[in-house]
Chain A
Amino acid sequence: MSEPKSSAPMPGRRLLLQGSAAMAAGLAMPAVLRAQDAGPLRIGHLTPRTGFLGPMGEYAVLGVTMAVEEVNAAGGVLGRKIELLTEDSVNPQTASTKAQRMVERDKVHALVGEISSASGLAIAQVANRTKTLFMQTGCNSDELRGKSCNRYMFHLEACNTMYVRTIGQALLRDGMVKGKKWMAFTADYAFGHDLFKQTRKFMDEHGGVFVSNDMLPTDATEFSASLLKIRQQKPDLVISNLAGNQTTNFTKQYHEFDIDVPFAGADMNMTSIWGAGKAGFSGVWPIIWTHQVDAPSAKDFVARFQKRWNRLPGNQAVNDYLAIKILAEAMTKTKSIEPDKIISYLESDVKFDLLRARPGYFRPWDHQLVYEMYTVMPNPDKNAGKFDFMTTSAPVPGPSESLEVLAPTQEENMCKFA
């Protein structure tokens, strides 16, 4: 036992010792470190990765990751790097638990993400209770900006009314509303119900003749019974208030059944358009952003995204990307990570480049980000490129109109911050 046969155990043991020391220091020191604001800035990102909203969640993660990489490459925020914690939010219960853990155990400085309105509400309650900023990037329900609004939640996603009015303008322009018989198909959960309410309100106000509304379970994938029903009822217009994978499948099968009734919907995502594909995509739809948006910053973003991820960005990637950029800008401008200071800054009518022609801003009274939206439809040019089988309209509202015409007014959707 005079000489060790190998020197390997020594550095191993030393490493272990050093590691333990560092760990002990870490355990003992976090309060001190945080007080000095020396560690990285932590952002908690929650979004559905599995289930029928999973495809959109995937783009959310790509967007948020790229934004964090860009901010860090440019030196971080207030001299600190951003550290991203990202997790599958699964459902409202899990989302709430994870949000709470991120805030209380991981000490995140802000929460970002979510797509499901029900999970978004659960996270918002945690944000409100713990006074943590929540940049909400995918929940559409009007209620989140109205009855359930709260001071710590900001909405990068458009609300249902904004979607309905965007498609409504296109339908009014095409004479598809007044006196027309319309059938609706709606996702049977909070988002769908709310969307149907807004669609119904819009169609009623403008003289549409309501035929029927079918609530379809979110796990339904096969819609032949509904499509036969459309053939039988022969309405003038079919409106979809479906969500996620439902939209992809319904659109595909609508085309498969060769139904010649004009088809429109109140919510659309690039993942559904790509899923339906060139042969399956049909109808006219509102959307918050596409890779075809005609603005220099949008084109630049598309190029960077393609370089980083080797695919085109979807609309969901943009919201989560912008959430980080806006947070970073607010922290830099206010030289603070205090939620109250950031809220005051975001409420101060400051304009942000939102990868669109016109800059947008948060409305101070409900924290809705207002911006240009678009409608998409199949490209009449059948020889267009692989990803250009759809076309994006000019921005809605037009250049001379206020950006706020789409969003509900204070009377329509009252929000009182406690």
Chain B
Amino acid sequence: MAELTFVLQQVANGLLLGFYYLLIALGLSIIFSLGGIVNLAHGAFYAIGAYLIVFLSDQIGYGWAFVASPVLVGILGMIVERLFLQRFYRADPALSLLFTFALSMVIEQGLRMIFGASPLTFSIPEFAHGQFIVGDFFYPIYRIGMLAVAIAAVAGTWLLLNKTAFGKIVKAGINDPDMVRAMGISLNPVMTAVCGLGIGLAGLSGVLLAPITGVQPAMGQEILTAAFVVVVIGGLGSFWGVVLAAMLVGVIRGLTSFFYPPASEASLYLLMLLILIVRPRGLLGERFERLE
């Protein structure tokens, strides 16, 4: 009986973990869906978000740094889109792959040169430290706060993409960019905004996870692979596919960590393999003419 409670708690923990995966995978997914760009630098922007909150907390306090850091990462994302990424939308996907891979290495090495290879000291702010306890279930308050922020960000993104005129253009752009252009709507500013949003979400993940995992230059690489797995499992272009995949990945990883820890990282890839055998386009993946 006690065993069942343990397992349930691990499942709940897995669902919470799923939201962190979701936050970073969502940005990756929308940039990929609209621009056809596999952003290998996504993890590097996540790292920049983490470094920004550490750096800015000292200057302007945690609260302001919490707001400013993801916004700054988003602006940086828009600058990168304007200067570089927009050249790749109609090019061979291999080029954008190479470019973003190079960019991720430049950013990682840049962080290493500026801040050093050692993890920076950063902890949960005092006001958020403590445990939330209900019966047998307990969880750190900070992580519950993270969950709230993650849910708000994901819900906000969903509303933006589904309930606004902007969202309609994005959706139309994903399905048939040429027709959107023929209607006289320029996709360029939309793409810039989407990149800003997606990369800003990566920055937000970095801000949220900075007090939990070590803030060090290679932190982006660690999370990027998991984010890709989520996008691939979820299926291209599907918002709910990514949501479902993130939860699934979180729970599977949580349960493997409990029953067989050595396979906790490998479980993601096994899951991906199994799902791709059954559903090659991912769980809820749609068919895209231009990507077939």
Interface residues of A (CB under 8 A from B): 49-52, 54-55, 57-59, 188, 214-217, 219-222, 224-226, 228-229, 231-232, 245, 248-249, 252-253, 255-258, 271-272, 274-280, 314
Contact = CB atoms under 8 A, between A and B. Distances in A.
Interface string B100-136: 0000000000001000111111111010011100000
Contacts of A275: 118-121, 214-216
Nearest to B13: A224
30 contacts: A54-B112, A55-B216, A57-B117, A214-B261, A216-B261, A216-B264, A217-B266, A219-B222, A221-B222, A222-B213, A224-B13, A224-B143, A224-B254, A225-B254, A225-B257, A226-B257, A228-B258, A229-B257, A231-B138, A232-B9, A248-B214, A249-B213, A249-B214, A255-B123, A258-B130, A271-B118, A275-B214, A275-B215, A278-B123, A280-B123
Secondary structure dominating the interface of A: helix
Nearest to A273: B121
A139 to B, nearest CB: 19
B10 A228 contact: yes
A271 to B, nearest CB: 5
A222 B212 contact: yes
B204 interface: no
B264 A217 contact: yes
A159 to B, nearest CB: 24
B150 to A, nearest CB: 14
Given A217-B265, A258-B130, A55 B118 contact: yes
Contact of B264 (A51, A225, A249, A271): A225
B105 to A, nearest CB: 10
B6 interface: yes
B237 to A, nearest CB: 28
A74 to B, nearest CB: 28
Contacts of B143: 224, 256
Contacts of A258: 130-131, 140
Given A188-B262, A216-B261, A248-B119, A256 B10 contact: no
Interface of B: 2, 6, 9-10, 13-14, 16-17, 20, 112, 116-124, 126, 129-131, 138, 140, 142-143, 211-219, 222-223, 253-254, 257-258, 261-262, 264-266
A228 B121 CA distance: 24
A257 B142 CA distance: 10
Given A229-B258, A256-B142, A245 B116 contact: no
6 A-B pairs with the lowest CB-CB distances in the bound complex, closest first:
A225-B257, A275-B119, A277-B121, A279-B123, A58-B117, A214-B261
Contact of B119 (A216, A271, A278): A271
B257 A54 contact: no
A417 B254 CA distance: 47
Contacts of B117: 49-50, 54-55, 57-58
Nearest to B253: A225
B216 A228 contact: no
A28 to B, nearest CB: 38
B17 A276 contact: no
Given A275-B119, A279-B124, A221 B262 contact: no
A222 B223 CA distance: 10
Contacts of A280: 121, 123
A279 B14 CA distance: 26
Given A217-B266, A280-B123, 16 more contacts: A50-B218, A54-B117, A215-B261, A221-B222, A222-B212, A224-B254, A225-B14, A228-B6, A229-B257, A232-B9, A255-B123, A256-B129, A257-B131, A271-B119, A277-B121, A279-B126
Contacts of A55: 116-119, 216
Nearest to A223: B257
Nearest to A217: B265
Contacts of B264: 216-217, 220, 225
Contacts of B123: 252, 255, 277-280
Contacts of A245: 119, 214, 216
A278 B265 CA distance: 29
Given A257-B140, A274-B121, A275-B119, A220 B265 contact: yes
Nearest to B140: A256
A179 to B, nearest CB: 23
A231 B214 CA distance: 23
B47 to A, nearest CB: 12
B13 A225 contact: yes
Contacts of B140: 256-258
B262 A274 contact: no
A271 B13 CA distance: 29
A4 B211 CA distance: 67
Nearest to B256: A225
A58 B113 CA distance: 11
Contacts of B253: 225
Contacts of B217: 54
Q: Which of B14, B262, B266 has the most chain A CB atoms inside 10 A of its CB?
A: B262
B61 to A, nearest CB: 16
A217 B263 CA distance: 8
Contacts of A216: 261-262, 264
A57 B218 CA distance: 14
